[in-house]
Each structure stands twice: as structure tokens, then as C-alpha cells.
Amino acid sequence: MARITLRQLLDHAAENNYAVPAFNISNMEMGLAIMSAARAANAPVILAASRGARAYAGDQLLARLIDGLVETFPEIPVCMHLDHGND
């Protein structure tokens, strides 16, 4: 499954009465752990990048990391949350 919008994810969660976790991510190991847990729980996930993570890894690298995670875990709906940046 490709990336989805936060609205799609939250609407589905509200209709089906479940919560969706958001996890800050800054490297591959964190991404793999989060996605493996989402796979085990058969659950969608919100991947967030904090201001610090964006400063550390950079937007381009984080975007490619998310692309790789989506390709590696195609059955997991993923929403990327970037609301913690400066702009």
C-alpha cells in the first residue's frame, strides 16, 4: 500500500473505533522496528519526523527512508507527519 493521507487514516480509524500511533523516526533501524511491529499488529502507522530528526537526517533522506519502508512493507498503510518543522 502506498502512503496515505492523515485524513484517510483518521477517518478509517474513527469509523472502525481504533487508535493510530505516531512514531518519531530518524533512521533505518527505528523505521524497521516500527514497521515490523505494525506488521505484527496488522495496523496502520503514522511516521513522524521531529524538528531534530529533520535537522539530523534531512528531509530528502527521510523521504527516501519512508519510500523504502513503504516498498518493504507494502501491506502497511503509512502516513508521514512532518508538522514539527520550521516551515
Which strands sit side by side in the sheet containing 45-48, from one edge to the other?
Answer: 22-24, 45-48, 78-81
> Which residues are tagged catalytic?
83
Residue type for position 50: S
Residue for grid cell 473505533? 17
**pLDDT (0 to 100) of residue 37:** 96
Q: What is the pTM of this model?
A: 0.84
9-55 pLDDT per residue, tens: 999 899 999 999 899 888 899 999 999 999 999 899 999 888 888 88
Closest to 45 in 3D by CA, of 11, 79, 6, 17: 79
